[in-house]
Chains A and B, each alone.
Chain A
Amino acid sequence: MIELRNVSKSFGATPAVADFSLKIENGAFFVLAGPSGCGKSTVLRMINAMIVPGKGQIEVDGQDIRAMEPEKLRRSIGYVIQSAGLFPHWTAADNVLAVPRLLKWSPSRCAARLDALVALLRIDPALLDRYPRQLSGGQQQRIGVARALAADPDIVLMDEPFAALDPVSRAELQDELRGIHARSGKTIVFVTHDMDEALRLATGMAVMNGGRLIQTGSPASILLAPVDDFVRDFLGGESLQLRLLDLVPVEKLMKPGKTKATETIAAGASLKNALNLMLARRRSFLGVEDASGKRLGEIHLNDIVARRDAN
């Protein structure tokens, strides 16, 4: 668990974070969201002692981080930044193994861990001997994520890791990361200013503005009840209702039974995907299939609308 209590930090005269308190439970995929300069990166960097707070207290697993050696703390927490920050003079494999080597793992243990990470992140083994400049942005960031996970830390901090990627690589890596989180049960603290990304990934989130915590809760609870106009605008103003549909899978509203529907959608797709498909194909209902293509039931436009009304 990560706990921040009444943390403040100023750079010179400008306060970056003011009286900030937050609890992040173990196993959460916690997203810190907010506009540029709201202090979200500062909060993230305070968790691994890259920035020392002016006031307040930060605990990781019940231990005050001021009592820990910063290097030791950082080696126990994974970290990914936007531009990957790979060492340009090291091969991809050496980059991935940076922390295990700092921790003086044996070569055989390093090799075994590298194999596991290559499998976990579906890295093409041919890339391992290349230098970062020989990799695409998406490949670099994949290596960056592998480096963060290398020493199997319980906590991983990510500072806008996918912001510079093209939409395809970004979506791919988001899916990958969500899968890894679900399987590993690691605590991930993820900073982004991209609302779609936040909603797609978060199990819990905090919205920040001007160095303060404005609202915290599950993505759905924040979408349903934004505390003020800032949060409402940040969540997307008029498209807020559509965003909410993005959070609910089709199977939640599916009606079982046989259907003559000619257009079908996967059960795991979101209601927003379903609505999109209905509009595109001019249908008021769709068939629902599971991953193997087996027909499960159908979903109706009326149910989507009614569900919204029920809210």
Chain B
Amino acid sequence: MTGLCGLALLSFVRRPKLRSFATILAAALILWGSLAGAGHFAALLMQESPPTARASLGPAFWTLAVAILAIADAMQRGNFVIPARVCIGAAFCAGFFLMAAAGDFDDLSLAKEFSNNRGIFVTELLRHLGLVCAATFFALLIGVPLTMLVLRKTAVAGFVFASLGILQTIPSIALFGVLIAPMSKLSEQLPFLRDLGINGTGPAPAIIALTLYSLLPLVRGFYTGLSEVAREVKDAATAIGFGARQMFIEVELPLAMPALLSGLRVVTIQAIGLASVAALIGAGGLGTFIFQGIGQYALDLVLVGALPVILLALLANFFFEMLLGLARRKL
């Protein structure tokens, strides 16, 4: 409560650095208060209950989310240098893991669901990351040449963007479903594909679908970035004797880098979210917990899948923020 009031009062502080700093402190208060409180009350409740009982988190606990957002926002606004951001982030994580290790949360149902699934959690997390990385990799593999094509031949640009746009509008569950039939046909016809583990269900169609979704934001971001490199700069580069390759490597690429990274950021975060749906076609990943949880009406199991997805997305965002900061420093 104190933290929330503090947060509200802080909007009156004028100096931005100070305001950001104080915001982080207030948010930290809320964060630790809620976490410790939740663990404490759960322990109290569970003292008198049978072992199968569960203590879930109430809606009020989710002011926590506000606190985390406030911290991220404050770091953004305060224009904190990268090392400072890393330190603040690391401090929060360290605190959380210390509390978890000390057993503060052991009586919360979320923690119970987590420890029940501890064995497969890591597997599914890695599988999730694998899906995202593979999709991003293939999206780059196809997207970069496609961008080059679109930049060279403006005539095909409309066609390419229209096709990718249509792909993008197909709902994800539908696309995963639609891929099952042709993929299983394909693996029936070509045994070597089956030997590679490529089937109508599983990771292969999931990666294909995620790649297809990634193409539009990737190609559009890359195209915009490269085509917006100032004409007179390219003109001057040509005029003083840069060849096409030198121009690309030394002028276009560094100048378009922020836009390229932004494109990649959108693609990665989108893939982290969409990969959850891939669990539906047996590709595994954190979505497994979400759909299991929904099936069993075990909301805390849903959270075991959903919270790491959110954290992954935040982490990815932070990582790209950092790279963007480096790329922009010179521009």
- Taken together as a complex, chains A and B put the C-alpha atoms of A24 and B121 apart, in Å, by 78
Against B, the Cβ 8 Å flags (1 = close, 0 = not) of A291-307 are 00000000000000000
Please pick, from A88, A89, A131, A147, the residue contacting B240 in the complex, using a CB distance under 8 A: A147
Judging by beta carbons under 8 Å apart, are A71 and B331 in contact?
Answer: no
Q: Does A85 reach chain B (CB closer than 8 Å)?
A: yes
Q: Does A186 reach chain B (CB closer than 8 Å)?
A: no
- Taken together as a complex, chains A and B put the C-alpha atoms of A101 and B246 apart, in Å, by 12
Contacts of B232 in A (CB 8 A): 81-83, 85
Against B, the Cβ 8 Å flags (1 = close, 0 = not) of A42-67 are 00010010100000000000000000
Stretch at the interface among A72-80, A168-176, A246-254, A275-283: A72-80
Judging by beta carbons under 8 Å apart, are A102 and B241 in contact?
Answer: yes
Judging by beta carbons under 8 Å apart, are B254 and A89 in contact?
Answer: yes
Contacts of A157 in B (CB 8 A): 239
Q: Closest residue of chain A to B243, judged by CB?
A: A71
Interface size class of A (residues with CB under 8 A): 20 to 34
Judging by beta carbons under 8 Å apart, are B255 and A85 in contact?
Answer: no
Q: Does B242 reach chain A (CB closer than 8 Å)?
A: yes
Contacts of A45 in B (CB 8 A): 239
Contacts of B241 in A (CB 8 A): 71-75, 99, 102
Against A, the Cβ 8 Å flags (1 = close, 0 = not) of B263-294 are 00000000000000000000000000000000
Please pick, from B236, B242, B255, the residue contacting A81 in the complex, using a CB distance under 8 A: B236
Contacts of B331 in A (CB 8 A): 88-89
Against B, the Cβ 8 Å flags (1 = close, 0 = not) of A85-112 are 1111100000000110010000000000
- Taken together as a complex, chains A and B put the C-alpha atoms of A78 and B235 apart, in Å, by 13
Q: Closest residue of chain A to B233, judged by CB?
A: A85
Total A-B residue contacts, Cβ distance less than 8 Å: 58
Judging by beta carbons under 8 Å apart, are B235 and A81 in contact?
Answer: yes
Taking the closest CB of chain A, its distance from the CB of B275, in whole angstroms, is 35
Contacts of A89 in B (CB 8 A): 254-255, 330-331
- Taken together as a complex, chains A and B put the C-alpha atoms of A82 and B232 apart, in Å, by 9
Taking the closest CB of chain B, its distance from the CB of A189, in whole angstroms, is 13
Taking the closest CB of chain A, its distance from the CB of B224, in whole angstroms, is 17
Against A, the Cβ 8 Å flags (1 = close, 0 = not) of B219-250 are 00000000000101101111111110010000
Taking the closest CB of chain A, its distance from the CB of B26, in whole angstroms, is 37
Judging by beta carbons under 8 Å apart, are A86 and B242 in contact?
Answer: no
Judging by beta carbons under 8 Å apart, are B237 and A87 in contact?
Answer: yes
Judging by beta carbons under 8 Å apart, are B255 and A79 in contact?
Answer: no
- Taken together as a complex, chains A and B put the C-alpha atoms of A99 and B241 apart, in Å, by 7
- Taken together as a complex, chains A and B put the C-alpha atoms of A85 and B233 apart, in Å, by 5
A85 touching B236 in the complex, CB below 8 Å, given contacts A102-B241, A131-B330: yes
Taking the closest CB of chain A, its distance from the CB of B35, in whole angstroms, is 44
- Taken together as a complex, chains A and B put the C-alpha atoms of A71 and B251 apart, in Å, by 16
Judging by beta carbons under 8 Å apart, are B240 and A79 in contact?
Answer: yes
- Taken together as a complex, chains A and B put the C-alpha atoms of A99 and B230 apart, in Å, by 20
- Taken together as a complex, chains A and B put the C-alpha atoms of A48 and B232 apart, in Å, by 16
Judging by beta carbons under 8 Å apart, are A85 and B251 in contact?
Answer: no
Judging by beta carbons under 8 Å apart, are A86 and B236 in contact?
Answer: yes
Contacts of A87 in B (CB 8 A): 233, 236-237, 251
Taking the closest CB of chain B, its distance from the CB of A49, in whole angstroms, is 10
Judging by beta carbons under 8 Å apart, are A102 and B242 in contact?
Answer: yes
- Taken together as a complex, chains A and B put the C-alpha atoms of A86 and B232 apart, in Å, by 9
Please pick, from A48, A72, A88, the residue contacting B239 in the complex, using a CB distance under 8 A: A48
Contacts of B239 in A (CB 8 A): 45, 48, 50, 74, 79, 81, 85, 157
- Taken together as a complex, chains A and B put the C-alpha atoms of A71 and B232 apart, in Å, by 17
Please pick, from B240, B254, B330, the residue contacting A98 in the complex, using a CB distance under 8 A: B240
Q: Residue among A48, A83, A89 with the most chain B CB within 10 A?
A: A89
A85 touching B330 in the complex, CB below 8 Å, given contacts A72-B241, A75-B240: no
Contacts of A147 in B (CB 8 A): 240
Judging by beta carbons under 8 Å apart, are A50 and B246 in contact?
Answer: no
Contacts of B238 in A (CB 8 A): 50, 74
Q: Residue among B238, B246, B254 with the most chain A CB within 10 A?
A: B238
Contacts of A79 in B (CB 8 A): 236, 239-240
- Taken together as a complex, chains A and B put the C-alpha atoms of A86 and B239 apart, in Å, by 12
Contacts of A148 in B (CB 8 A): 240
Q: Residue among A75, A79, A99 with the most chain B CB within 10 A?
A: A79
Judging by beta carbons under 8 Å apart, are B240 and A74 in contact?
Answer: yes
Given A79-B236, A81-B232, A102-B240, 8 more pairs with CB closer than 8 A: A48-B239, A72-B241, A87-B233, A87-B236, A87-B237, A87-B251, A89-B254, A89-B330
**11 A-B pairs with C-beta separation under 8 A:** A48-B239, A74-B240, A81-B232, A85-B232, A85-B233, A86-B233, A87-B236, A99-B240, A102-B242, A147-B240, A148-B240
List residues of chain A with CB under 8 Å of any chain B CB. 45, 48, 50, 71-75, 78-79, 81-89, 98-99, 102, 131, 147-148, 157
Nearest 4 Cβ contacts at the A-B interface: A85-B236, A75-B241, A74-B241, A79-B239
